Amino acid sequence: MTIRFDDPNRPNSYIGRTVPRPNAGRLVAGRGRYVDDITLPRMVHVAFVRSPHAHARIGAIETGEAETLKGVLRVFTGRDLAEVCTPWEGKLLHLEGMKTPPQHPLALDRACWVGEPVVAVVGRTRADAEAGAALVEVEFEPLPVVTDIRTALDPDTPVLHEALGDNLCFRKANEKGEVDRIFAEAHKVVEASFKTARHTGVTLEPRVILVDWNAGDGEMTAHVSNQAPHMLQLLLAGHLDIPESRVRVVCGDVGGSFGVKVHVYPDEVATAAIAKIMERPVKFTSDRMEAFIGDIHARDHEATGRIALDESGKILGFDVDDWTGIGPYSIYPRTSAVEGLQVTNLIGGPYVFDHYRCRTSVVFQNKGICAQYRAVGHPVAVAITEGLVDKAAAEMGIDPIELRRRNLIADDAYPLTTAAGLKLEGLSHHRSLDALVEAMDYEALRAEQKALREKGIHRGIGIASFIELTNPSPFMYGIGGARISAQDGCTVRMDPDGSVVALTGITEQGQGTEAIMAQIVAEAVGVSPQMVRIVTGDTRVTPFGGGTWASRGAGIGGEAALQAGRAVRGQALEVAASMLQAKAGDLDIRDGIVVDAATGEERMALSEVGRVVYFRGDTLPKGLPRELMQTRHFITSNYPYAFTNGVQASYVEVDVETGFVKLLKHWCVEDCGRIINPLLVDEQIRGGIVQGIGAALFEEICYDGEGQILNGTMADYLVPMSGEMPDMIIRHVETPTEESELGAKGAGEAGTAGAPAAVMNAINDAIRPLGGSVTHMPFTPERILRALGTITD
């Protein structure tokens, strides 16, 4: 029996409806349980002495004064922890030629970025630990630093890791067709340079981990604010020499993640190592300053790009040279090469063309480590692509909507493989663009823009089409040897009263995982969502899975839940059929009642099935299957990724006197396949858009030439606030994936992927008549005034 998703009046039709999130009630009441809220008996706190230098040799470490401070219990150096914890290297085997040196929980001989943990101080309270850390004396001998991306490979630039020979971590060129010839012969070639600023995630809850080592059981329990509990379980087990089954990772409430909390951090591993040594619970709570220097950074890209078009405005090809600086180490275990790699995959993604070249060069430098952050690589690739498309439209005198209509992949052209080599199952660029034009009343907006221009008001409209990578298969990490699961599982159990518990390998960080899983399981079993309790984030009880990242929760975890729920339904119906002397196929379960499928006549409450199975199994035929607990796992297999698509538009007003940008409105049309909960999808997109707007207008981690961070506080690193943000209109097109019965793709990256390009294009649309353009993010008032020629020094 398949679910008739197109019939909103079908029984148990919870998939596709807005239902409230079951965990929201406790969060608004202040009853969340984030890791820092947990206090365990005998718990102690660890604080870290971090390198104040971007690059320095570590000499003598004097810990005596700290050790005698009241409240300080132990002090650990890198050598101490190296005895119990093996180092790691963030490499993937399928990324040919990739290099990165071994990394330890605490630096051994050299510190390679400002903020690298060097010494750990354990105290009875966090204040004790911090006071002790302030008393540790480390002899640092400063070494030459590498900070600039473009000169990192120059012969006269110092080599950061001597053993690696040069500062190149990874380089990849993706090429198809005859790029040189096409660009030489093309009717029109447009060129530009682009910069996306170095960002960090700024999760409102900083990273936090509380690890206990119970020597009696030989078991480690880590409460951690993380998105991938099973991944962390295996890595802690591996590096601390514990059987995987004896490491329990618990991720309760997580205060925002966005990719920040999917990586292995040296301070977190150090905390686990210390817990194992001290045999007691150890907590590390990062403060905000540590977050700016210790959390992953991302998006530090500089690129030059060209687009070639024929007379009719048809795109012939793209040619992009992308450079990115990733700090001194590749992140473990996902690597810091994936962002650049995605840029080489995603440039030109929405369009038809035959000639393609994109090279990325990933270089080491003495700054914070860069890694996967929401919409990995997408904002960079979309900004380059859409910046070039809009510039070409302007130079050729073609309306930007019209130029896109001429070049977007036709909605009936799928499946197809793009020039960049992406296998696309089914997208809806044209329907999405049509929906956008209608939602924003494009013609009226253009007329308004023109009228206001005559009054000296400079408004601009920016469009950005994009594709979004979701539901990754093992092609992303597994084939490279990383123990990161692309499959996911769900166990559904019916309790005696007919209510249901579902345990899932995907996790909740606010997306609404618990809500959509409850909806899916409710529909699959035939009970109301209120009767479903979802359990996430505990490796001891949930099926082995990957967690929630790369917009995989709904598409992969959701399908496993659907199948597990259907299996429990099947078992319950088999028992009911035996009790009612009916055929299971003639029965259905609706709102917790076994009914006659044809007439809807009520036959028996599900609680009666539960009562008999659990307490009077003797009355059922011997050998009748009655497992009201079923587990199913799901993995995608037809496509390496489920791509989604969408298009955004931004409407801005630029004050040409001050350079300030006012965001007037923002639109997004997105196709994430089957929508499970429309409200939650809309809010994922809105939140993502605002992170993308932050990229366009505000966010930049600034370093000086010595590798010192200049804006490591929340007052200096600007994230969007409510006062500056626009209202956002969200629309949908639904093209379900045929990989699964559920048909869901991901929706978490779309907003962030497209918003920076849309805002950039809108600003340029506003200021182009004045002779300026901006392509280096963030578009601060100063950069806009420079583009306008107001500031020239």
Partner 1 sequence: MTDSFQSRIDLEMTINGEAVELTVPAGRHLIDVLRHDLGLTGSHVGCEHGVCGACTILVDDSTVRGCLTLAAQLQGCEVWTIEGLTEKGVIADLQKAFVERNALQCGYCTPGMLASAKALVEAEGVPSRETIREHMSGNYCRCTGYEAIVDAIETVARQRADETGARSRAGETVAKARAGARS
Just list the catalytic residues: 749
Q: Which stretch, 521-529, 562-570, 630-638, 683-691, contacts partner 1 (CB under 8 A)?
A: 683-691
Closest Cα partner for 668 from 726, 730, 725, 727? 730
Q: How far is the CB of 717 from partner 1 (least distance, A)?
A: 10
> What is the DSSP code string of 400-418?
HHHHHHHHBPPTTS-SEE-
How far, in Å, CA of 165 to CA of 785, rounded? Answer: 42
Minimum distance of partner 1 from residue 386's CB (angstroms): 21
Backbone angles phi, psi at 74, to 5 degrees: -150, 155
Strand partners, 709: 703
Among 16, 37, 398, 586, binds partner 1 (CB under 8 A): 37
Q: Length of the chain, please?
A: 793
Nearer to partner 1 among residue 93 and residue 204 (C-beta)? 204
Please, which residue, 313 or 751, has the CB nearer to partner 1?
Answer: 751
Q: How far is residue 197's CA from residue 407's CA, in Å, rounded to a whole number?
A: 29
> If binding is defined by CB under 8 A, does position 786 make contact with partner 1?
no
Q: Is 653 in the site for partner 1 (CB under 8 A)?
A: no
Residues 745 and 739: their CA atoms lie apart, in Å, by 10
* Binding residue for partner 1, selected from 249, 254, 264, 380, defined by CB under 8 A: 254
Region near partner 1 per CB under 8 A, out of 132-140, 654-662, 707-715, 758-766? 707-715
| Binders of partner 1 in range 409-438 (CB under 8 A) | none
Q: Is 134 a residue that touches partner 1 (CB under 8 A)?
A: no
Considering only residues 195-214, where is the footprint of partner 1 by CB under 8 A?
A: 201-206
The packing angle between helices 513-525 and 558-580, to 10°, is 30
Name which of 9 and 39 has its Cβ closer to partner 1: 39
Q: SS3 for 199?
A: strand
String marking each residue 723-742 x if it binds partner 1 according to CB under 8 A: xxx-xx--------------
- Indicate whether 660 belongs to the interface with partner 1 (CB under 8 A): no
| Residue 288 lies near partner 1 (rule: CB under 8 A) | yes
Residue selected from 4, 25, 158, 615 as contacting partner 1 according to rule CB under 8 A: 25
Is 281 an interacting residue with respect to partner 1 (CB under 8 A)? no
Specify the stretch interacting with partner 1 by CB under 8 A; choose among 15-23, 239-247, 320-328, 330-338: 15-23
Q: Tell me 768's DSSP state.
A: G
Angle at 720 (CA atoms; ends 511, 381), nearest 5 degrees = 75
3-state secondary structure string across 536-594: ECECCCCCCCCCCCCCCHHHHHHHHHHHHHHHHHHHHHHHHHHHHCCCHHHEEEECCEE
Q: Is 646 in the site for partner 1 (CB under 8 A)?
A: no
Measured between alpha carbons, how far is 86 from 458 in angstroms, rounded to an integer?
Answer: 58
Check residue 352 for interaction with partner 1 (CB under 8 A).
no
Closest distance to partner 1 from the beta carbon of 85 (Å): 28
Q: Is residue 21 at the binding interface for partner 1, with CB under 8 A as the rule?
A: yes
> Does the protein bind partner 1 through residue 678 (CB under 8 A)?
no
User: What is the nearest approach in angstroms of partner 1 to the Cβ of residue 24?
Assistant: 4
What minimum distance in Å lies between the beta carbon of 608 and partner 1? 33
Give how far Cα 477 sits from Cα of 68, 286, 473, 614, Å: 46, 28, 8, 42
Member of 680, 742, 762, 785 binding partner 1 (CB under 8 A): 680
Sign of torsion, CA 371 373 376 381?
Answer: negative
Cβ atoms 327, 152 nearer than 8 A:
no
| Buried-state track 635-649, b at ≥16 Cβ within 10 A, e below 16 | bbeebbbbbbbbbbb
Question: Toward partner 1, which CB reaches closer, 374 or 566?
Answer: 374
- Distance of CA 35 to CAs 38, 114, 132, 210, 718, Å? 5, 26, 23, 7, 26
714 near partner 1 (CB under 8 A): yes
Compose the 509-528 pattern: x for residues touching partner 1 by CB under 8 A, - for all others: xxxx----------------
The 8-class DSSP code of residue 776 comes to: B
Contact between 17 and partner 1 by CB under 8 A: the answer reads: no
**Is residue 283 a contact point for partner 1 (CB under 8 A)?**
no
Q: Contact residues for partner 1 (CB under 8 A)?
A: 20-21, 23-25, 27-34, 36-37, 39, 201-206, 253-258, 287-288, 509-512, 679-680, 683, 686-691, 713-715, 719-725, 727-728, 751
